[in-house]
Amino acid sequence: MALIETQHLTKVYELGDSAVRAMDDVSLTVANGEFVAIMGPSGSGKSTFMNVIGCLDVPTGGKYLLDGMDVGDRDRDELAEIRNKKIGFVFQGFNLLPRTSALENVELPMLYDGCPPRERRQRAMEALKAMGLEGREHHHPNQLSGGQQQRVAIARALVNRAPLILADEPTGNLDTRSSVEIMELVVKLNRESGITIILVTHEPDIAAFSRRIIKFRDGLVVSDEPVKQAEQQVKDP
C-alpha cells in the first residue's frame, strides 16, 4: 500500500480579488521506503505540497490519503497527533527552539505524546548520537554550526520513529561539505531504517542522492522519473 496518495490536490490562496493557484491538481503516490526529490522553479508549489502532505496546511480541494487513511476529515488535534507520530519535518531554517538545548529540542515531540522523562532523555540522547552530535547535547542552537543545527533537527524528526520525513530545502542554508554530510545521513536513514524521505531541493547534486525525481511547474507535476543509475550519487548496494 502507498504511504502517500494524493488525488487532484489543489491549493488556492485568495489575495483580495486575485487568486493564486499554488497547487493545481496534483495526483501522485509515494510508496513506503521511497526516497523522492521534488524540484522545480521558485513559486511552483513545492513547499505548498510539502505543507499539505505534512498536515501543516489543508488543501483547497482534492483528497489526501496517508497510510491509507483520509486526512481530509481529521480535526486539529487529530492532525497534531498524525504529525507527532508519523511525520518528521526538516526545514531550511532548522526551526529549533532558541535558548533551548539540543537535547530538549530533540525531546520536544516526545513531550507531547506523554513519554516518561527518563525514556525521553534516553531516546533523545540516542538520536543525537546517531547524528554524530555526542557531547553537544547541552549546546543551544546559537552555539552550533548550521550543519550541526540541521542534524539536531533531523534527530528531532527521527526521535518519535516517524515512518516519513519531509525535508523542505534542508541544505538550502548550508555549504557544500555540510550539505553532503547531511545528505549522507538522510540516505542512511532511508537505506538502513527504511524511512520514507521526501525532499525539496533546487540543486541537481542534492536531488541525485534520491531514487526518484518529481518536477513541479505552476502548481502541476510536469515530470516524475527514477534517477538513472549513472547519475546516482550513492549507488545501489
Ligand X SMILES: Nc1ncnc2c1ncn2[C@@H]1O[C@H](COP(=O)(O)OP(=O)(O)OP(=O)(O)O)[C@@H](O)[C@H]1O
Residue 37 engages ligand X in binding (rule: CB under 6 A): no
Smallest gap, in angstroms, from Cβ of residue 47 to Mg ion? Answer: 3
Smallest gap, in angstroms, from Cβ of residue 152 to ligand X? Answer: 22
Residue from 22, 10, 13 nearest 64 by CA: 10
Positions 41 through 60 that interact with Mg ion (CB under 5 A): 47
The residue assigned the cell 513519554 is 115
Residue 44 engages ligand X in binding (rule: CB under 6 A): yes
Smallest gap, in angstroms, from Cβ of residue 97 to another protein? Answer: 6
Nearer to Mg ion, 51 or 196 (CB): 51
Number of residues in the chain: 237
Residue 10 engages ligand X in binding (rule: CB under 6 A): no
Nearer to another protein, 84 or 233 (CB): 84
Residue from 91, 189, 195 nearest 149 by CA: 91
Q: Which residues bind another protein (CB under 8 A)?
A: 51, 54, 56-57, 76-77, 80-81, 83-85, 89, 91, 95-100, 108-109, 111-114, 117, 156, 160
> Which residues here bind ligand X, judged by CB under 6 A?
13, 15, 20, 22, 40, 42-48
